[in-house]
Amino acid sequence: MRSIEGKNPEPRPKYIRTSVSGIWDKPSNLNNVETWANVPLIINKGHAWYTGIGTEKSKGTKLVSVSGHVKNTAVVEVPMGTTLREIVFDICGGIPGDKKLKAVHFGGAMGGSIPENLLDTPLDFDALSSLGATMGAGGMLVLDEDTSMVQMTRTLLDFLSKESCGKCVPCREGVRQMLKVMDRLCENKGRPGDIELLEDLCEVSRKASLCSLGRTAYSPVLSTLRFFREEYEASIAP
């Protein structure tokens, strides 16, 4: 390929061509402050002390950022294995106005929604993953009985569509098309086939996106479809 000036263009550095690579295309160790904060404690107290906290496969403690319909929004540090119910009710005081809890959305925008009847799930990587949620950065959004799960999911998709860098089509267009469907559903103008269309878009985005944003953007949609499908069905126009 030649540039319009007739010179060979400068080869682009390899690290620009890939979506997932270390700095200057070398292995790079990036950890968040929460991880680093554990290191001196493990060195000083030993691995047996650290692994004595938590569940069989998820060790130590976790910072959980609790927000939404909860009396005390807070960042709390809890041992792995603490149940979601303990975090919402025992630590954060429950739901304002004595309303019922409908769900918690765990793992940030690319996480999943867990219904009230599964709130005794322990904080554990595998347990959350089996319900379609992720540990992520420990974001926990508490949702009361008046929450529309369709509206909530639309809000998350709106955020994800703005976060998409636009480099690959399955994410850039896939999330945008999901958002269009969600807009219809939020106005109770859903069309027959919209739920299946959403599922198809989720599958394409999951399988064909370049980086983990597109590959996990489907998560809030599929998890709310799994546990709150009747709300989607009720949003289809008669």
Q: Which residues bind ligand SF4 (CB under 6 A)?
A: 19, 164-168, 171-172, 209-211, 213-214
Residue 87 or 110: which CB sits closer to ligand SF4? 110
Structure tokens at 100: 């019922």
Q: Which residue is nearest to ligand SF4 (CB)?
A: 214
85-88 contacts at long range (C-beta below 8 A, 24 or more positions apart): 85/119, 85/120, 87/123, 87/140, 88/119, 88/142
Cα separation of 217 and 200, whole Å? 13
What does DSSP say about strands 61-68 and 139-144: parallel, antiparallel, or unpaired?
parallel
Pick 137 or 211: Cβ nearer ligand SF4: 211
Residue type, 50: Y
CB of 54 to ligand SF4, least distance (A): 32
Closer of 170 and 190 to ligand SF4 (Cβ): 170
Smaller CB separation from ligand SF4, 167 or 226: 167
Please tell me the distance from the alpha carbon of residue 187 to that of residue 183, in angstroms, as a whole number: 7
Integer Cα distance of 97 and 95 in angstroms: 7
* Nearest approach, Cβ of residue 159 and ligand SF4 (Å): 13
Q: How far is the CB of 20 from ligand SF4 (least distance, A)?
A: 9
**C-beta of residue 189 within 8 angstroms of C-beta of residue 181:** no
Q: How far apart are the first and last CA of the chain?
A: 55
**Judged by CB, which is closer to ligand SF4: 103, or 168?**
168
Q: Nearest distance from residue 137's CB to ligand SF4, in Å?
A: 17
Closer to ligand SF4 at the Cβ: 103 or 171? 171
Least distance to ligand SF4, CB of residue 207, Å: 12
Q: Comparing C-alpha atoms, which of 37, 35, 211 is closest to residue 135? A: 35
Task: Specify which residues 72 forms β-bridges with.
Answer: none
Minimal distance in Å, beta carbon 107 to ligand SF4?
17
Least distance to ligand SF4, CB of residue 77, Å: 31
Helix, strand, coil content of the chain in percent (nearest 5) = 45, 15, 35
3-state class of 64 per DSSP?
Answer: strand
Give 82 or 209: the residue with its C-beta nearer to ligand SF4: 209
